[in-house]
Amino acid sequence: MKLATLPGAGREGRLVLVSRDLTRAVSAGTIASTLQAALDDWARVEPQLLALSQSLEARTAGDVFPFDQAHALAPLPRAFQWLDASAFLSHGRLMAKAMRLSSNPQTSDAPLMYQGGSDDFLGPCTDAPFPSEADGIDFEGEFAVIVDETPMGASTERARQAVRLVVQLNDWSLRVVAPREMQSGFGFIHAKPATAFAPVAVTPDELGSSWTDGRVGLDLHIAWNDKPFGRPNGGVMSYSFFELIAHAARTRRLRAGTIIGSGTVSNDNPQDVGSACIAEKRGLEIIAAGEPTTPFMTFGDRVRMEALDERGDAPFGAIDQRVVKG
């Protein structure tokens, strides 16, 4: 099933179910008023949501209305936890080489993961405001899962049962600011402003065979100012989402609605498929010619991100944002 959040009375918006082709929606308000409310009570509400979703698909549901992706909020307009990993090791290897780091912080021992801000997620077509172009404004195309209650010390196998929804996101990053924050050891605050989400959260079954072994095997198509920038595939993620969940839960339980991200989708042939962030393209340029030639974004720039399946459909809908002066 596919879920989205439309503007509603409160900051959490109101939960709707969306048809498989993303053209129609129906309110889920009688079952759960918001997506967080549904996640807090998933075992009880899931069968009801599923029944309504099936009647929407069968065109027997009442009060169906056209679904407009551009007006959706993030599926969770704010969340209680947002943990983002760096789970494509090809990205880390490339960046460490480009930056001539003596050691690559991204190793195969354990995933890198940071705690992101989750009080203010942007909708798919909301302008992204930043204070200064000098901060090195960059997009990062990613996938993530939204999980149910997960006990402390959960195994990878236990973590598998915790995945409720899959989402697609743009982890906005300020590259000039990031190294200073990494050096402090305390992680990112200024370097990671509000994250944006594609309009539709899907249950893993909606992805069919593209959901394999805890990975999203779809090409993530990125266009920067309408020019294709990359289409790396999410299926080669070095750690599965199950492993990322288990990693996150090592010393504490995770509560329902926790979002766990993949980090920039990256393949080991970016010269062929492009990248999901500008930093990686600049890294390639540094390795090839000693210095980067692609600038970061400027105010007015747009980025579009959509994961496409083999039929050319976008199961999550599209992110299409403009960068503006905050």
Positions in the binding site for a copy of itself (CB under 8 A): 10-11, 40, 78-81, 83, 86, 105, 112-120, 129-131, 135, 152-153, 174, 177, 181-191, 193-194, 247-248, 250-255, 257-258, 326
Nearer residue to a copy of itself within complex by CB, 36 or 53: 36
- Residue 312 Cβ, how far from a copy of itself at the closest point, in Å? 35
Nearer residue to a copy of itself within complex by CB, 112 or 308: 112
Nearer residue to a copy of itself within complex by CB, 85 or 220: 85
Would residue 273 be called left, alpha or beta, if left means φ above 0 and alpha means ψ between -120 and 50 degrees? Answer: alpha
- Residue 287 Cβ, how far from a copy of itself at the closest point, in Å? 21
- Residue 75 Cβ, how far from a copy of itself at the closest point, in Å? 15
- Residue 298 Cβ, how far from a copy of itself at the closest point, in Å? 16
- Residue 57 Cβ, how far from a copy of itself at the closest point, in Å? 31
Nearer residue to a copy of itself within complex by CB, 138 or 306: 138
- Residue 230 Cβ, how far from a copy of itself at the closest point, in Å? 23
Nearer residue to a copy of itself within complex by CB, 37 or 223: 37
Nearer residue to a copy of itself within complex by CB, 47 or 153: 153
- Residue 60 Cβ, how far from a copy of itself at the closest point, in Å? 32
Nearer residue to a copy of itself within complex by CB, 71 or 252: 252
